[in-house]
Chain A
C-alpha cells in the first residue's frame, strides 16, 4: 500500500507567557514528538484522553497550527521519505536535505503551497453547531471551499454542491436554509459535505460523533464508511470513544501526554494491548453487560498536566509495572512483532527483546 501521511517527530508546544514582559515561562507540550505512518485508503484511529494532544495533532497535520519541530510528509513516495530520514540521521545540515524538505515537507509550506494543500486535506469538527457559520446559508457554507480555493464558481459550483449534498443524504431544499434549522445529525452531514466538496484525499475526523445523539451516531458512522469506499478517502479518526474506534478503524494509535505509546492494527490493540496504559484504558470502558462488572477502577490518579510531564516515561507515576529505568529514560516506539509498536521498557527491553 502506498503511504498517505508520514509524521516524523512532530512537536507542537503552546507557550505560557508570564511576568511583566510576557516572556515564555513554560510550554504546554501538547504534541511532543509524534511519528507515525498512515496508509492510503485506511481509517487510522487516534485514541487518547483529554489533554493527550490528539486534537492538537490533527490540527497541526492540517497546518491549522504551526508545528514547532518535526516533519509532515503528505502523499510523498516512500523512498523519498526514507532518504530524508537517512539524511537527517547522517547529515542533518546537508543542503539536499533542506531542499527536499522545502519541497515535500508540509511543515515548511507557506502561502500558495499551503493553499493548494487545502484542497487535499480537510477536517470535520466535533461540534456541528459551532463549526458552521450561523449566518451563512447552507449552500454558501458548503460552497466556500470551492470559492476560496478558486476551484469553481457560480453554476459549476452549484452543481458540485448539490452533488455532494445528495451524496451525504440530504435533499436539495437544504441549500437555501440556515444551519440552525437542522438537527445535530443533519448539521454534521452539512459539515461532512463541506469537507468533501473539494474532493480531498485525506480527511481528519475530530470526534465527529461525540456531539450527536446515540441513534444518529450509527447513521453517521455508516455514512463515513460508505464515503470512504466511494471516494477512496483516507481517514484519521480522532476519538476518546474506544468502542466506536474499534469498529471503524483499521489501525489504532494510543496517545498519552503528547506521545504515542502504542500503535498497531485494531485487532492487535484491542485483543492484545501491550502497553500498561492501553491495557488500563481498554479495561476502563464500561461493558454493556451487567454480568461482567469490575470491582476496582483499572487506573488510579489523574492525567498530569502537559506543562511539566514526568521525566522519563510519562506514564511511570501511574504505571503498575514502573521500573527504575522508566523514571530516567523515555522509551522509544519499537516493533514488538507483527508491526505492533510499543513504547515501554517493560515490554521491550532497551537492548531489544
Chain B
C-alpha cells in the first residue's frame, strides 16, 4: 500500500473520532461556564506566547527588570501605576507589569511540568498496582499511603529546604537507579528470559562502575526546579489512587477478557484497552490540578521558599508585597502590589477549574451514553 492510500485510510479512520469530538465541542459550546474557562485559558496562552512582544526583556527574560532611576530617587517603596510602569512597581522598584506578563510563562511551566510528570509517575504506579494486584498492589499502595500521610504543603516545604542546590550526579549512579527500576518493572511483567538477562547484565555493570570509576558532574537545580520536584513528589499519589480505582473497575470488564482470549499480551491489554478506558477521570482531575498547583507554588513563594529573588513569578511578587503592609493606609496605597498579581493567579486558577468542570460535564454523559 503506497503512501497515498495509507494516508487515505488514516483519514477515514479519523472520521468517526472527529465526529465524536465535534459532538463534544457542540455540547461544550452550549455551556457558558465552559466557554468562559476556555476563553480565560486562551487569553493566558496568548499572553505567554506574546510575552517578548508585550514586555520586551532586558538580559535574562525571567528576571524582572528594576527601574534604577526611581530606585535611586526614592529607594525601595513601591509606586502606583504610572505611564512608565503600567501596573506600578513593587518593592525595590521591580516593574509589576513585566512580572505579571512573564509570570504567565512561569505559571504554565509550573502547572504543566508538575502535572505531566506526576501524572506519568502516578499512572505507572497505579496501573501496575491495580492490574497485577496481590503483593505488588499492597506494596505500592502502602508506599503511596506513606506519602499521602504527610501533609502535602509541609512536605513540599521540607523537600524544598532539604534539596541541595547542586546535586552530584554520575552516569553510573543514574544507570544503577534506572536498571533497578526497570528490573522491578520487568519482574512484574514476567517477560521472556532474554530481556531479563540483558537487564541483569546492565545492573551488574552499573554496580561495578559505581564502585570503580565514577564520572561525576554536578546538576545544578536552578531557580524553580526544587519547587517543581517537591510538588511532583507530593502530587503523584493522588493520581495513583485515582487511576488504580478506575483500572480495578475496567479490569473486570468483558472486553478485557475477550482481548486476552484473542491472544493479547499484558502490555498490549494495558496500553490499548485499559488506559484509554480509565484515563478520563484522571485527565479531568489533572486539568483542575494545573490551577491548584500554581496556587501551591505561589504559597511556597509567599513563605519564601520558592522562586529566587527577582524571579518573574506571581507568588514571588505577592510575597514581596507583604513587606509593605504596615497599616491601613499602606495597604490602600500599595493596593496594586498584591491585588494585580493576585488577580492574575485567581483568574488563572478559575480558568482551569472551569475548563476541568466543562470537560467533566462533556465527557461524563458521553461515557454514560455508551
- Chain A proximity mask over B224-264: 1 for CB below 8 Å, otherwise 0: 00000000000000000000000000000111011111111
Residues of B within 8 A of A330 (CB): none
Q: Which of A133, A144, A155, A180 contacts B277 (CB 8 A)?
A: A133
Interchain CA distance A309-B263 in the complex, whole Å: 35
Tell me the chain B residues, 66-117 only, with Cβ under 8 Å from chain A. Answer: none
Interchain CA distance A47-B264 in the complex, whole Å: 30
Contact A155 B1 (CB under 8 A): yes
Interface residue tally on A, bucketed by range: 20 to 34
Check if B30 is an interface residue, CB within 8 A of chain A: no
Q: Which of A59, A127, A144, A176 contacts B259 (CB 8 A)?
A: A144
Contact B262 A130 (CB under 8 A): no
Residues of B within 8 A of A194 (CB): 258, 262
Residues of A within 8 A of B253 (CB): 130
Check if A254 is an interface residue, CB within 8 A of chain B: no
Check if B328 is an interface residue, CB within 8 A of chain A: no
Check if B222 is an interface residue, CB within 8 A of chain A: no
- Chain A proximity mask over B134-170: 1 for CB below 8 Å, otherwise 0: 0000000000000000000000000000000000000
Tell me the chain A residues, 152-201 only, with Cβ under 8 Å from chain B. Answer: 154-155, 176-178, 180, 191, 194, 198
Q: Give the tally of cross-chain contacts (CB within 8 A).
A: 70
Which residue in chain A gives the minimum CB-CB distance to B269?
Answer: A148
Contact A144 B16 (CB under 8 A): no
Residues of A within 8 A of B263 (CB): 115, 118-119, 145, 148-149
Residues of A within 8 A of B254 (CB): 125, 127, 130-131
Q: Which of A64, A133, A194 has the most CB of B within 10 A?
A: A133
Interchain CA distance A137-B20 in the complex, whole Å: 12
Q: Which of B255, B260, B369 contacts A133 (CB 8 A)?
A: B255
Q: Which of A131, A139, A177 contacts B255 (CB 8 A)?
A: A131
Interchain CA distance A328-B97 in the complex, whole Å: 91
Check if A135 is an interface residue, CB within 8 A of chain B: yes
B→A interface (CB under 8 Å): 1, 12-13, 15-16, 20, 192, 253-255, 257-265, 268, 272-273, 276-277, 369-370
A→B interface (CB under 8 Å): 59, 62, 64, 111, 115, 118-119, 122-123, 125, 127, 130-137, 139, 144-145, 148-149, 154-155, 176-178, 180, 191, 194, 198
- A-B CB contact pairs (8 Å), 26 listed: A59-B257, A64-B260, A111-B192, A115-B263, A118-B261, A118-B262, A125-B254, A125-B258, A131-B254, A132-B255, A132-B258, A133-B277, A134-B255, A135-B276, A136-B273, A145-B262, A148-B259, A148-B262, A148-B265, A154-B1, A176-B12, A176-B16, A177-B16, A180-B370, A194-B258, A198-B262
